[in-house]
Every structure is written in structure tokens, then in C-alpha cells.
A and B are shown apart, each in its own frame.
Chain A
């Protein structure tokens, strides 16, 4: 029993200690709800907030107005919000109606094959936000959402936008 727990403890501690900064964000290519292709690389030079969500995820929808507010206020300063729907093929038709209903102005990408979800969010935690700096490096990861979490997210975004280019 002891070796097993020792291994688990070592993994937990090493994972926690692993600073989540400075790692290049891997590129991806997805189509949005209007079938326009977007790659992460095309937004190099901007601060990119990648938000993983799904139509059946309640906390994701509670978080969305805060993302929309950030998009509205900070797009001109260089923030790009990319919402990646983790809905699979069978619920893909529900994505655009939800986006329209909520009046989301930021880009919503479809990932019915969960390819990018697997790439960035292998445990499929929803919602999950990955913040990418202007140099294309992952700066922060935020898992889950509780009301109030948007404060820390906004602070991290502001800090990246204020950082020297």
C-alpha cells in the first residue's frame, strides 16, 4: 500500500509544484459557428482567453456574461476570447442557438471530435479557461467556475494586457 500512496503523493506534489507559465500554447485549427476557420496562431500578438464550455454545462453559462463583458471592454486593448464548445456531434445544433440567445459577441468554435478539448483539457473539466499571452505562451489555467472566480480571471487578463509587448 505504501509504495502506491508514495507514488500518488509524489505525482500530486510534482504536479502542483509545476509552475504553469511560459509554455508555448500548441496551435489548433477549428471552424466557428459560421464555418470560418480559426487557428490559434493567427492571434499571436494578442492575449487569448480560451474558454472550454458546453451547452449542458450550467456553470459555463453562468460564467458567459463575464466573458462577454471582458470581450466588450478589452477587445480593443488586444484581448481575444475564443469559446470552444465541447459539445459532441449530437448536440452541435444547439450551440449556435445558445450563443445567439445569450448575445455572445466573441468567437465560438466547434470541436465535435473533442480534438482540441483532448489537447488542452484532457480531463474535460468544464468550464476551463486557458490564458495565452501575447508571445503565445500559456500564462494561466482556471478550472471550474464559482461566482466570484471572474475577478481573478479578469486580474490575470489585465496583467497580461498591461505587460510590455
Chain B
């Protein structure tokens, strides 16, 4: 509660402060900025989740005692930033608690769904409160110095890519020191820190939380802009990984360990040469200790964009050879420290296509052509009408991971889509087919997919939104009974009735007969249904109530994929930004 008290005092201070004087400055490249006295400002976001997990599972020999495995989880996340002049203090506090996760069975107390494992410190057996992120930043117009948690990425991510990724609960920062400065046409960035993955998940179940395993990462990038049409950058990073899961020595020891791997590389960007924007990057990786299976790797990425007439043509190519083996240790905690462009369509990544995304030996490219056929109507309304065609092709010779066969593959993945937006009428549609052709007589894996997001007004403030997705997968001959997989169909639908901005009522239905999906439907084994009501009492506040079930599956965001568990039960969530 002391946090609230401090926040209240700060608010009082803000209210009593003198408002900044008016500064009528005309818009321009560098207008004079009137100095106003620094004021304390506190802002933040808070998210609360309450989940009631239903389980139809029965304990062996205790079939007469249903619902023993039901339990409740509550999660609270509070992001606070306090600013005073050029300083900013940012904090993220997370709390999670499990309830009804224990029961007496014939007089013996049994704990199911243990919240955290040995090594995680908490005074409460079924609750955990952590200060997930903390940072103090000093900013001037051209420089920034952060002590604590910050994010860093070099180039297109093949040398280092730790960006905020809250979408799939893998938000990993670097806790240490980071500085950025711009001097003329030069940008300099240097960072050294310990990886700090989020421990408490906001959207996923919190069960068996592992203690943080700190890896040390130190790197720098120098960029030079304005060399004629060229912009150049060079970067390098070194990685000191903590190898064993139970090796939880003092965090600072990570910096004293031998360097396990180093990445280095450079990028060239040229804008507007002959109407084409070019970007090229090459990165190398040296593995200095055992555990990666190789001594070195490299990656290359190239993009070229042209804008002929109403078209936008984007050509991308990539080659990766053991460049992402560097994620070996970080993946134990579901995140990656290096992640380059995959050129795949994130929404249809399956267990099989994930193998190509994370391949250690792959070359490929993608061509995408978008047409801008919309415009401004005489009544001043903007209309977006943008069809596109994308074709990606890869040659994947890495047989590790979830490859499900022992044959190199050639992958072709065309996608067509369209965006149409006018007034309140919206259509976003994407459809594609992917084929993974095996060398020799191994046949091919085939996938067809469609996703659609459509919204249109019904009457007055009432509108209807329909979001169906469909995916079918036909496996070829996987080469052995052990590796052979089964064809499947995945369907997910969301049907929403929206009443103005504040209210939405959504019906979800999922179907999946994919045997790799580790969940069971609530209507039948393969059919899931759920309902949700959403209420936005203000522009930055949302309350949601959910009841039902959805299936497990892979979800990808920011180049990182995570196997999300299914759910059956009830949820309540409350989010507000203040």
C-alpha cells in the first residue's frame, strides 16, 4: 500500500505545481523550446487477471471425486513510470497467486499446480510478488543512458534481438547499463546486461515458475547516416550463458564466465537509388564453447523495395546457417536472444513450418506485391483497397528440431490477400497454400489456410465482426512409423456484436483434430466454445468477462513462437492506462 501512498503524494504534488507557461511555437525543424520547471509525473498501466480453471480430469482411483483439479489464479501487473525533468524511473511489479490448488485426499494435503519451483524466493507458498523490471533513464535530446532494464536490437536481429515481447509472455530485457548517443550523423549504442525474462505470465497459466537464469550479453553498434545515399552500421555482441538449469549462482557471476559465443556484422542501407530502397546485412557467429554443436554460423539478409505506380514491390532474401543455434540456452526459458526475419506468415506457423522458421540451414526469399487502389472520395472519405500477392520459397536442409522426417525440403508458399476499409466497413483477408516438397520420393506436406476479419455496421451503433480462420494440413510420407504425423484441420471463429465503442459480445468456436494439440474441447473432444463480454467505460480502460474453452496451439509474435496451453473455465480481466 506504500506504493499507493507515494503515488497519491506525487499526484498531490503535481496538482499543486504551477502549470507550464504557454509556449506558442510554430512547427518547424528545430523551434525554440521554452524551458519550464521540471515536474513530477507518474503514469502507468495496470492489468488484473482472474482465471478459474475447470478440469474434467479425474484422479486414478478417485473417480468419485470430480473437480478436484479445479483451481483459481489471480495475476496483477502494474507498470509505473515516474518522470522528473530528464530522469525517468520505470517499474513493473507482478503478483500471482493460486487458490484452491490444494485439497485433502484421505486426510493428506495434496498440492496440485505448484506456483513456483525451488530457487524462487517468496514468503508465501502459493503467491509470488516480483519486481520484474526496474530502470532509471536520463534523456537529453540526443542521448539516453539507462541503468536497469532496457531492450536492445542490432540490425535486423541476427546479431542481437531483445525487444519487448509481451504478446506471448516472453518479455525479456537486459538488466544492466545501456547508452545511446547521436553525434551529428553518427549513432552510437552500447549495452551490457543480464537477461531478465519475465517470470509471471499475464495471459498464460503460472505453474512451476522457474528461477531466473541470468545470461550476460555485452554489445555495441555504430551507425553512420548520410554518406551520400548510404547509411552504414557495424555491430558486435558477446554472450556468456549460464549452462545448467540448476546453476543459479550469484547473477553477477555471469559476467565472469567464459564467453560462449560472439556475433558481429554490418549493414548497408541505401534509400531511393533509382526509386529503390535497399537494405543488406551480413552477420557472423563464433561459438567458443561446446553445447551449440557447431563452431560457427552466419546469416545474410537483403531487402529491396520499389514503388512503381500504384504498386509496392518488396523483395526479401535470407540465408541462415547455424546463426540461431546461439539461442540454445535461452530457449530453455522460451525466449530467444537472436531472431532474424523468417519471411514466413506468422499466423499459420505450425509444428512443421516452425522447423523451417528456426532452421539452422536454410536459404530462401519472398516477393510481395501490394497494389494501392483506394483513394479519397469526393466526400473526403479515405478508402483503402489493397490486394496483394506474396510468394515465399525456401530450401531447408536442416533435419533437426521438429522436422518430422529425414529429408531436405523445398518449400513454396504463395499467399493472396486484400484489405478493404471504407467508413465502418472493413475486410482483411489472407489465403494461402504451402507445400514442403521432400527430396527423392518422399512426397510433400501440404497446408491450406484462410483468415478473414470482417466488420460492418448493422443498425445505429450496432456492428457485426466476423473473424474466421481455417487451416488444413496434409502430411506426406514422413519416412517412418515413428515420425509419421496425422492430417488435421484447425478452425477458429469469433463472432462479435459491438454496441458502439463501449460494448462487445463475442462468441468463440474452435475446432481442431490435430493430435499434436494438447487440449480437449468442452463440447466434444475436438470442439470448443466460449463467450466473452467486453466493456470499455473509458478510452483506456477495458473490462472483459470470459467463459468457455479454447484450444492449445502455437502462437507467434515478434519472431518468437510459443506453445500456448488450452483453457477451460472462466476469466475476468481488467486493464487500464492512467
A122/B90 contact (C-beta < 8 A), A7-B76, A89-B156, A135-B22 known: yes
A94–B79 contact, CB under 8 A? no
Which residues from A are CB-within-8-Å of B109?
Answer: none
Number of A-B contacts (CB under 8 A): 277
A101/B20 contact (C-beta < 8 A), A93-B341, A94-B314, A138-B43 known: no
B381 to A, closest residue via Cβ: A69
Which residues from A are CB-within-8-Å of B150?
Answer: 115, 118
Within 8 A of A (CB), among B453-484: 453, 455, 457, 461, 463
Which residues from A are CB-within-8-Å of B151?
Answer: 113-115, 118
CB of B204 to closest CB in A, whole Å: 15
Query: At the interface, yes or no: A62 with Cβ under 8 Å from chain B?
Result: yes
Query: At the interface, yes or no: A152 with Cβ under 8 Å from chain B?
Result: yes
B163–A112 contact, CB under 8 A? yes
B271–A97 contact, CB under 8 A? no
B22–A134 contact, CB under 8 A? yes
B225–A35 contact, CB under 8 A? yes
B163–A114 contact, CB under 8 A? yes
A90–B23 contact, CB under 8 A? no
Among B22, B226, B428, B576, the most chain A Cβ lie within 10 Å of the Cβ of B576
A11–B3 Cα gap in the complex (Å)? 9
B39–A24 contact, CB under 8 A? yes
Which residues from B are CB-within-8-Å of A97?
Answer: 305, 312, 314, 368, 370
Interface size class of B (residues with CB under 8 A): 35 or more
A113–B79 Cα gap in the complex (Å)? 19
Over the window 476-515 of chain B, the binary record of Cβ atoms lying under 8 Å from chain A Cβ atoms (1 yes, 0 no) is 0000000000000000000000101100100000000000
B421–A62 contact, CB under 8 A? yes
Binding site for B on A (CB under 8 A): 1, 4-5, 7-8, 10-12, 14-16, 18-20, 22-24, 26-29, 31, 34-35, 37, 39, 41-46, 56, 58, 61-62, 64-66, 68-69, 73, 78, 80, 88-94, 96-98, 100-103, 112-115, 117-119, 121-125, 128, 134-138, 140-144, 146-149, 151-153, 164-165
A45-B23, A62-B421 given; 7 more Cβ-contact pairs under 8 Å: A8-B48, A8-B76, A14-B7, A23-B14, A29-B182, A93-B279, A147-B498
* Between-chain CB contacts (< 8 Å), 12 pairs: A11-B4, A16-B538, A20-B577, A65-B382, A69-B381, A90-B340, A112-B153, A122-B90, A138-B41, A146-B501, A148-B463, A151-B501
Binding site for A on B (CB under 8 A): 1, 4, 7-8, 11, 14, 19-20, 22-31, 33-34, 36, 39, 41-48, 74, 76-79, 81, 83, 86, 88, 90, 92, 95, 97, 99, 127, 139, 141-142, 144, 150-157, 161, 163-167, 182, 225-226, 231, 269, 271, 277, 279, 303, 305, 307, 312, 314, 316, 339-342, 346, 368, 370-372, 374, 380-384, 386, 419, 421, 424, 426, 428, 453, 455, 457, 461, 463, 498, 500-501, 504, 536, 538-542, 557-559, 574-578
